[in-house]
Structure 1
Amino acid sequence: MAAAACVASLAPMVSQASSHREAPLVAGEPQLDNTDVYAFVSPDAPDTVTMIANWVPFEEPNGGPNFYPFANDAAYDINIDNDGDARADLIYRWTFTDSYRSKNTFLYNTGVVTSLDDPDLNFRQTYKLEAITASGTTTLISNGKVAPSRVGNASMPNYQQLADSAITPVPGGGKTFAGQGDDPFFLDLRIFDLLYGGDFSEVGQDTVRGYNTNTLAIQVPKSVLALKGDAVRNPVAGIWSTTSRQRIEVVDTLNDRNRYGGWQQVSRLGMPLVNEVVVPVGRKDEFNATAPRNDARFAPFVANPEVPRLVQQIYKIPAPATPRQDLVEVFLTGLCKACGPVAVDLNSQRLNKDADPAAFMPSEQLRLNMSIPPAAKPNRLGVLGGDNAGFPNGRRLTDDVTDVTLRVAEGVLLPNHPAAVDGLGDAVDANAVAFRGAFPYLALPNVVAVNQN
């Protein structure tokens, strides 16, 4: 109880929630652009963990005629590090294949679609899901079906049924989903207009309201993620997503794109918005190609963050003194009494009893303590609001990471911080549409044009 009371005063670090179009190169290739990662103990199946990773930012619902497929020349990964050495101990990898019933039409669907096998669904995608460990690669699903982009109510009058039919069992327990959904992230992105135009009274517009995104979700037993399969002794896992593409591309005279060579990582996301507002523009593409085990090169940007300096310049709120070891702990190590100045045991892999402390390596990951049960009444501020089942202990769909991280960037974790810090936020406190109560939890894709919302 004492530990819980201490944790209730904590929160995550300097990022502000997500990474939509965060780096120069990947901004031009939205199919490869990781936007968000979520990881939480499943509220309706608390012996499991749900991991969700999203790609393709700002999908306008009426984006035909091609809509929004996953890339068929990329590897989409969710990575798990359960011993804290900054190397993936388990990788879930999705790769996709396209097919058309007819290429003699411009239509995505040639009639009303009532099932994933409907002959009127002209464009279809399937996927292979693999589990990669030190022991080798196991194919879990060889021909999984992707839920199509939501064309509209005339074309897909019962999209809920289509989406549900794309939920596929995973051998050994669990389930997975690939398809489109409402973008679950919520915030006022006018932060990039010199922090809300220099006037916090102007906040409150949910910039991503009405947009969709491409989602990969997987729910598995806790033991699958835990070190040595023991989620009691080893409850903490670190999670991040990556996108990789083959290294060599040859474009022929018919504009066919042929790719060769091994996989090269081109996008990465763990803790939200780190690459977007912590890493400077000259290093963003490098971060997207870097593995967590090499994150020491980015540590100075965490310890000396730019956002508080900008807030001081515009709003005259004093920036906390640097180096910010509190942020290093939250961002690079997870929270534990042996990790740094925020002395509370929460979500560092150092808490795993079978982990080797000598092998532990600070790295950017979204860390989840699977032993903390789902909250009966989740608080949108997560740990900062006294709810240890929320951000930064993993990340739930309902967690308001914008408000939390803005306050933490301004020093709410530190003693004697200015009172003004306690109420900072963007006045966007929840998603515009309700989330579903069962896997994959995201709301269905939007169908109304964004400029009509």
Structure 2
Amino acid sequence: MAAPHPARRRVVSRRRAAASAITVVATVLASALAGLSAGPAFASSHREAPLISGDPPVDNTDVYAFVSPDRPDTVTLIANWYPFEEPNGGPNFYPWATDAHYDINIDNNGDAKADLTYRWNFRTDDRRGNNTFLYNDDPVTSLDDEDLLFRQTYTLSVIDRATGRVTNLVTNGKVAPSNVGPASMPNYRALRDQAITAVPGGKTFAGQADDPFFLDLRIFDLLYGKDLSEVGQDTVAGFNVNTVALQVPKSTLTLGGNPARNPVIGVWSDTERGSITLRTPGAERSLGADVQISRLGNPLVNEVVVPAGLKDRFNSLLPEQDRTVPALVNKVSNPEVPDLVQRFYGIPAPAKPRDDLSEIYLTGITRKSGDRIDLTLNSQLDNADVDPARFAPSEQLRLNTSIPVTARPNRLGVLGGDLQGFPNGRRLADDALDISVQALEGAAVSGIVKALAAGDRVDRNDVPFEAVFPYVALPNSKAVNSSSSAG
């Protein structure tokens, strides 16, 4: 395993220093038990990996990266956690974990290491004590309203790997609370807007939002019932997620601060926690060295590309380690889904190995890869100042920030002739499920597979996205099992 780069080195807090004796014992135990999978391991996306259900607050669901449509000199990064938040899930609702690091990483030179890491750390101010079970004890009209009894704040820092410098961008950011409902929060939009905080050249947001992913997850029932009869139901409609969003100038993210020469960046999110969870009656805390427990770049990779036996391991890998796991790389070039489609629907699977998928998921789309996709689009290899000898294939969501904002976006992104869409970054309205299935069926080389052109028949989100930052829709407040879930 490669040694952790400087951005992964952590400063031990005073609280952990005070518990140093316990930490030493815990670390020794962690080393002894590592090969036995003792304790929970974690995975990302919508509950697709075996052990994630034990800790949903740190479960990555989706990552988005796109040139901001209303501020085209900037890039917007969005990462979501905590899948399937039922709006009526009180009285505790859906807080961010306070013992975890929530990260968005940027690789602009193609070495599969984070050149920049944007990190959110959350704190809780719970004023309920022994007085009430209520999240709020009267209508809440502002984030400072004394009737809001459960509050969270955050620090947003950026770690620069080249210098090792850690810079705080926000020190006391206010989190938009869970949407309790219209009686408790009659103007939730005002609360959401108050949670938007300025950063140099842009802004950031942390809080609850409607889950922007839209798809029919009955793909897992033998690929939509073996006859495409099980389609048309948006599985995540009405559910919420916890969201962080960041909008910064292109020059902040690109290599050398020069988006004209080096427009391509790689993006992924992760969550880190202490290696040991110490539980005592009525309390728990994390101890030991921070370890990565969840990771997400391209959508659906861990769900439908990575086999079950590697899902938890994938979430522990840094991108620079991807190529050291041959079984993982093999599943990209020899995917299972086309074989299943051939088995159930008689559509011939493309010939293997699939260098087109290796390009989409591991290198970025570029003619320099020498494969069958005749397009130069979003590989760091195409940045003018990248050293090809240092380039390392790895699973990342890659974005060419120089592609102009599309006047009429196509939900199928690149496959629909819209080069600003997924897999060139990912916009909120990109139909990730249909694009991914078509890509797995070889559409990037041979064109749209007409027999599967209708996809899952879920072509847009159940509620409209916003036209301005943070772009995600307001969180739902009606129960998912009601006649109308959006609210």
- Structures share a fold, TM > 0.5? yes
Match of 1:155 in 2: 184
Match of 1:233 in 2: 261
Change (3 A) 1:49 1:246: same
The answer to whether structure 1 residue 34 and structure 2 residue 60 are counterparts is: yes
CA distance in 2, matches of 1:231, 1:418: 35
CA distance in 1, matches of 2:178, 2:447: 50
Match of 1:351 in 2: 382
Q: Secondary structure at the match of 1:245?
A: strand
CA distance in 2, matches of 1:417, 1:163: 40
Match of 2:317 in 1: 290
The answer to whether structure 1 residue 142 and structure 2 residue 171 are counterparts is: yes
Q: Which runs of 5+ in 2 are unaligned?
A: 1-43
Match of 1:8 in 2: none
Q: For 1:19-418, what aligned pairs fall within 5 Å after superposition?
A: 19-104=45-130, 105-134=132-161, 135=163, 136-170=165-199, 172-252=200-280, 254-296=281-323, 297=325, 298-341=328-371, 342-415=373-446
Match of 1:11 in 2: none
Q: Which runs of 5+ in 1 are unaligned?
A: 1-17
**1:173: how far off?**
1.2
Change (3 A) 1:324 1:424: farther
Q: Secondary structure at the match of 1:406?
A: helix
Cα deviation code 1:341-399 (max 9, x no counterpart): 11311000011101111100000000000001111111111111111111111000000
Q: Secondary structure at the match of 1:338?
A: helix
Q: Percent identity?
A: 63
**1:193: how far off?**
0.7
CA distance in 2, matches of 1:335, 1:248: 40
**1:416: how far off?**
8.8
CA distance in 2, matches of 1:102, 1:57: 26
CA distance in 2, matches of 1:358, 1:236: 17
1:47 and 1:221 in contact (8 A); partners too: yes
**1:186: how far off?**
0.4
1:48 and 1:219 in contact (8 A); partners too: yes
TM-score after normalising by structure 1: 0.94
Cα deviation code 1:87-128 (max 9, x no counterpart): 000000001111112312101111110000100000000001
1:101 and 1:119 in contact (8 A); partners too: no
**1:262: how far off?**
2.0
CA distance in 2, matches of 1:305, 1:255: 45
Q: Which amino acid aligns with 1:397?
A: L
CA distance in 2, matches of 1:73, 1:258: 7
2:259 and 2:401 in contact (8 A); partners too: yes
Greater RCO structure (CA 8 Å; 6+ sep): 1
**1:241: how far off?**
0.2
CA distance in 1, matches of 2:346, 2:436: 18
4+ residue segments displaced more than 6 Å: none
The answer to whether structure 1 residue 450 and structure 2 residue 477 are counterparts is: no
CA distance in 2, matches of 1:68, 1:250: 22
2:210 and 2:239 in contact (8 A); partners too: yes
Change (3 A) 1:431 1:415: closer
Cα deviation code 1:305-346 (max 9, x no counterpart): 011111111111111111101100111000111013113110
Q: Which amino acid aligns with 1:53?
A: A
CA distance in 1, matches of 2:370, 2:305: 20
1:326 and 1:340 in contact (8 A); partners too: no
**1:417: how far off?**
8.4
Q: Which amino acid aligns with 2:182?
A: N
Cα deviation code 1:257-316 (max 9, x no counterpart): 122222100000000011111111111110000000111112101000011111111111
CA distance in 1, matches of 2:330, 2:127: 53
**1:19: how far off?**
2.3
Q: Which amino acid aligns with 1:118?
A: D
CA distance in 2, matches of 1:166, 1:289: 31
CA distance in 2, matches of 1:380, 1:31: 29
CA distance in 1, matches of 2:56, 2:236: 15
Change (3 A) 1:424 1:340: farther
